[in-house]
Chain A
Amino acid sequence: MKTRLAILILVVLLALLPAYAGKYALYVAIHILLLSIFSLGFNLLFGYTGLLSFGQAGFYAVGAYGCAKILLAYPSLLVGIVGGVVIAGAVSLLLGFLCIRHTRIYFSMLTLSFGMMIFSLAWKWRDVTGGDDGLVGIPRAPLEIPGLFKINMAPMENYYYVVLAFAILAIYLFYRIVHSPMGLTMQGIRDSETRSVCIGISVRKYRLLSFTIAGMYAGLAGALLPPLESTVTPPLAHWSHSAEPVLATLLGGVYSFSGPIVGSVLFYLLKDIIVRFTEYWQMCLGIIVVVLVMGFRGGVVSIFSRKGGQR
């Protein structure tokens, strides 16, 4: 009951954000929401299924480039975003089929190489991706269902609400996924693959499911980006971008539902604060990572809750 109330208050506060916050705060908030979606998907793979991916930025970029391509050809926000997610889902299903043959370090290396293959395509396949210039002039198309309504997306507030709606939907679905039998099965596989096989679970099927859903979440985060920035560039696919959800999740807490979200908020706010004092933000981040791995592997969430962080 208390948690529900807290969530309700949080949602109301977020919904009222445009009333009391400026344009920059909205811009930051959108980025935090995107990183939250991105990290949640990553954590389904890492925290819930036990697979550390270093190639999630590849699917993020597929979602972003997919949405950008669609918006450039057919300016409808919904078609662009849904299209981006579907393309990212298809690509991650395909690559997941190849990646989930391995676990542990081999899985990490395999996802890294596929992510970098996507990066090299974005960088070099000039005819389709615009090469190192990326794609520019992507319109923030109106939210439209022909015959029903058409909302102008030019004001930042309007687009903020679209992102917020998608984020809430994504978080809610994630909650349902990890508390469903499917989510529990994934956690079972994480804890003991042998035991799961013995009770007749198709380990591969659930790993593939987890991989595909994670890819779709990355794709959703990516697809929401081009209407905001009006441009997409190859670094979105680079492995160093894959590290962002890894760090956010580690910061918030790997084995908790809210960890990636809390971590995303902290990641952005810390960055915003630290860069005001020093240009060496990366070093601070590195020190935080080292301290977390050495002493606080449950992340921030576990420090404030008695339940989490026991693993």
Chain B
Amino acid sequence: METLVFQGLVGLSVSMYLWLLAAGLTIVFGVLGVLNFAHGSLFMLGAYFTFTYYGLWGVNFWLAIALSLLSVAVVGYFMERFFLRHIYHLDHAYQLLLTFGFILIFDDAAKMIWGGVAKIPAMPSFFEGTVSVVGRPFPFYNLFIIGTGLAVAIVVWLLFEKTWWGKMVRASASDREMASAIGVNIPTLFTGVFVFGAMLAALGGALGTPVRVVAPGIGAAMIIQAFIITVIGGLGNLKGAFVGAIIVGTLSAYGILLFPVFELFLIFLIMAVVLMVKPQGLFGG
């Protein structure tokens, strides 16, 4: 029983990285209609930038995270402004292909700049230590991640539901032409949404640096997880992405414990079944 509770908490902290990653992906899809294959690579870049600022240059941990968010925001800006913007009118397939090209570029760029060896930066000292949960030591950092994930969920919700910008975004998501007709500057708004999504991915990557390995290729691995989550929750559905992340995170935490052989198979099976039975996702209307 204790094991189950403990493993559930582990799963929950993993879920939060996945949530940060999937949130950006699903927002960008919901508004821009683009499934960004390179979204996982933005997660990877967030991790690498944080590693550089914090691990190599010795910048304050929080400042390093903020700087890496800004850096990834710049990358996202260029992707949207100079490439994606010009192919919105094309078939979905071409947007997938273009962003796939970006995965290849980012992966090799990371190898070129940071080398092919995995980096494991040190944990900031104030995060060391554990909390006793059901009589076992649980890393304090994981609790912090769970808290941050929940906080981001609330902030994103407030942003989209309560602010003027959020209203404009939702308006253009449901009817691009009408929103444009009543004076929403669609191209600028789209750039903003893409950059926002990129920063969410970067935050996930940045927060992962103290505990997760940073290596070229993690982007490609993460994007598949993000696809699974957003598909389960419904493409473009923010609430779905949150629940989907918790499902996948917890399932892989328990899966490793209970049925290690079929964990991967099971996750893809769930994705396929959701797609076949309810393609709009578990929470789609």
Contact = CB atoms under 8 A, between A and B. Distances in A.
A240 B275 contact: no
B224 A116 contact: yes
B279 A106 contact: yes
A102 B228 CA distance: 17
A46 B93 contact: yes
Contacts of B105: 282-283, 286-287, 290
Given A52-B93, A290-B105, A105 B35 contact: yes
A225 B109 CA distance: 32
A289 interface: yes
B261 A117 contact: no
Contacts of B35: 105
Nearest to A107: B275
A102 B275 contact: yes
A117 B94 contact: no
A108 B34 CA distance: 13
B100 A121 contact: no
A294 B104 contact: no
A108 B96 contact: yes
A170 B130 CA distance: 62
B104 A113 contact: no
A293 B87 contact: yes
B68 to A, nearest CB: 22
Contacts of B235: 105
Interface in A93-150: 98, 101-102, 104-106, 108-110, 112-114, 116-117, 119-121, 123-125
A61 interface: no
Interface in B44-92: 83, 86-87, 90-92
Most buried by A among B108, B112, B279: B108
B272 A289 contact: no
Nearest to B116: A279
B101 interface: yes
Interface stretch (B149-157, B172-180, B263-271): B263-271
A297 B92 contact: no
Interface in B119-164: none
B117 interface: no
Interface residues of A, number: 40
B182 interface: no
A290 B37 CA distance: 13
Contacts of A286: 101-105, 108
Contact of B272 (A117, A125, A240): A117
Contacts of A98: 272, 276
A104 B29 CA distance: 14
Given A289-B97, A289-B101, A280 B111 contact: yes
A101 B112 CA distance: 43
A240 B220 contact: yes
Contact of A113 (B94, B98, B109, B271): B271
B19 interface: no
Most buried by B among A113, A119, A281, A287: A113
A70 interface: no
A285 interface: yes
A124 B103 CA distance: 27
A294 B94 CA distance: 9
B97 A250 contact: yes
Contacts of B268: 113-114, 116-117, 120
Contact of A52 (B96, B265, B272): B96
B100 A294 contact: no
Contacts of B265: 117, 120-121, 124
Most buried by B among A240, A287, A290: A290
A120 B268 CA distance: 9
20 contacts: A52-B93, A102-B279, A106-B275, A110-B275, A113-B275, A123-B264, A124-B262, A125-B261, A240-B220, A243-B100, A280-B112, A283-B107, A283-B109, A286-B101, A286-B103, A286-B108, A288-B101, A290-B101, A293-B97, A297-B90
Interface of B: 35, 83, 86-87, 90-94, 96-98, 100-105, 107-109, 111-112, 220, 224, 227-228, 231, 235, 261-262, 264-265, 268-269, 271-272, 275-276, 279
The 7 closest A-B pairs by CB, nearest first: A286-B104, A289-B101, A283-B108, A286-B105, A120-B264, A52-B93, A120-B265
